[in-house]
Amino acid sequence: MGGDSNYRAVFRCIAGCSEEYPLDEVVYRCKKCGGLLEVYHDVDRLRELSPKKWKELFNSRVGTTKWPYGSGVWSKKEWVCPEVDNENIVSMFEGNTNLFWAKRFGAMIGMNDLWIKMCGNSHTGSFKDLGMTVLVSMVNEMIMRGKPIKAVACASTGDTSAALAAYCAYAGIPSIVFLPRNKISTAQLVQPMSNGSIVMSLDTDFDGCMRIVQEITKDNTIYLANSMNSLRIEGQKSISVEIVQQFDWEVPDVIIIPGGNLGNVSALGNGFDMMLQLGLITKKPRIVLAQAQNANPLYVAYRNGFKEFKPITPQKTLASAIQIGDPVSVIKAIKALQQFDGIVEQASEDELSNAAALADRTGMYSCPHTGVALAVLLKLVEKQVISKTDKTVVISTAHGLKFSEFKVGYHQGTLPDVKSNYANKPIELEANADRVREVLFNELQRRSTVAY
């Protein structure tokens, strides 16, 4: 066995039968009852270190170059995946992303304590790196232990495949990605191509790709990297710890996160749950899950008090990474929302686009999913569900640079169902100084009369 022998984690069935499997076994669902698995940590062992000592340990590591602890994820290794030998970890020092103080955006809506967690400021440009470093590290560990794994595969709405391809390329492990043809951005398609992945572009949507990859990975030599694989959730849950750590261990009042397959909101909940269990915090934040109106199965379920959940066929949304109708992690997500006084709210195409553009005017560069979360923030502040004095964090899930089609379309006014209130087109002009001066001063004059 590699890893930290002091600590122990296993896969455990969450459907009530409590079957356990070692983390180096190729297993995605409970073999007894078909239930979802979760990584279960031996919390009693972890309790042997006091809350103060954990905080000191985490503070001493993050941002350093001491392998692998400088990573935002691996700085919390004992809580994430103690099973991996440090030598087998595949890390690009992911995480440790900045909290952006949304000073001007907040001021527009009367908030002074509004923060954006910039998860897109990461190696492949989205929060998917946080989970993928753990999954690929575990695969690498399994290969080193002699398991016959030929490749790692995933279905993706774009960002998971980019992360999988990069981490596999770093480790020298073959990767296969299944993408819905013409439903992801150019940047997202070209990332796995560049990293040498086998890129399968299928005539279906995400849910269709998901069905295919589950078929293919029934062959145990191809390892499944979707978020049904709870190793990824373990890495992603480090954002909760990281946010609280960045506030010097103060817990925010509200956290807003966009969701599609609903792994990330489950991870967020798990991170807070672990900090509560180990006594690092005593207060619970309220968690808000933001969905695109065109792909809103959890919103519908929330409106009927989570009495039942029905998968839907999602409509097309600009927030393409959350265009999912049958989310794998729905049970875990509902559990997290119930534990953290959760709310689900939705945003239309027009609302998400204009919220993103408005935020960009204050220095951000928001992807459409972050736009969904920002639009939900605006709505909930308007409805006074979120108070203006609440310490609020919006999770920005990807970098805007991955979504240039969205940005260009917005400013050209060509996005469907969107009225581009903040379009800003380039001024095209002959290179004549007098003419340039005239146009420029007119424009400055115009801008002095409206809010920019």
Ligand X SMILES: *Cc1c(COP(=O)(O)O)cnc(C)c1O
- Which residues in this chain contact ligand X in the complex, by CB under 6 A? 126, 128, 159, 227, 258-264, 321-322, 367, 369, 397-398
Q: Which residues bind Zn ion (CB under 5 A)?
A: 13, 15, 17, 19, 30, 32-33, 35
The binder of 263, among Zn ion, ligand X, none, by C-beta within 5 to 8 A per type, is ligand X
Residue 128 near which of ligand X, Zn ion, none (CB within 5-8 Å, type-dependent): ligand X
Q: Give the shortest CB-128-to-ligand X separation in angstroms.
A: 6
The Cα–Cα gap between 67 and 89 comes to 9
First to last CA, the chain: 59
Comparison of 176 and 322: residue with beta carbon closer to ligand X: 322
Give the nearer residue to ligand X in terms of CB position, either 140 or 366: 366
Question: From the CB of 151, what's the least distance to ligand X, in Å?
Answer: 21
Closer to Zn ion at the Cβ: 32 or 47? Answer: 32
Closer CB to ligand X, 280 or 336, in the complex = 336
Is the peptide bond preceding residue 148 cis, with omega within 30 degrees of 0? no
Give strand pairing partners of 13. 37
Measured in residues, the chain has a length of 452
The least CB distance from residue 214 to Zn ion, in Å, is 18
Q: Cβ closer to ligand X: 88 or 126?
A: 126
Q: How far is the CB of 119 from ligand X (least distance, A)?
A: 8
- Calculated CA dihedral for residues 71, 77, 83, 85, nearest 10 degrees: 40
Residue 405 binding target from Zn ion, ligand X, none, CB below 5 to 8 Å by type: none
> CA 394, CA 22: separation in Å to the nearest integer?
35
d(CA 294, CA 205): 14
Q: Is the backbone of residue 249 left (phi > 0), alpha (psi -120 to 50) or beta?
A: left
- Count of other CB atoms within 10 angstroms of residue 92: 16
Question: Whole-number minimum distance, CB 317 to ligand X, in Å?
Answer: 11
Contact 395, 380 (CB under 8 A): no
Please say whether the beta carbons of 342 and 287 come within 8 A.
Answer: yes
Report in angstroms how near the CB of residue 278 gets to Zn ion at its nearest. Answer: 26
Q: Look at residue 19 and give the partner it binds from ligand X, Zn ion, none, a contact being a CB closer than 5 to 8 Å depending on partner kind.
A: Zn ion
Q: Three-state DSSP class for 336?
A: helix
| Residue number, 140 or 227, with CB nearest to ligand X | 227
Q: Which does 264 bind (CB under 5 to 8 A by kind): Zn ion, ligand X, none?
A: ligand X
Parallel/antiparallel/unpaired status of strands 392-396 and 114-118 = parallel
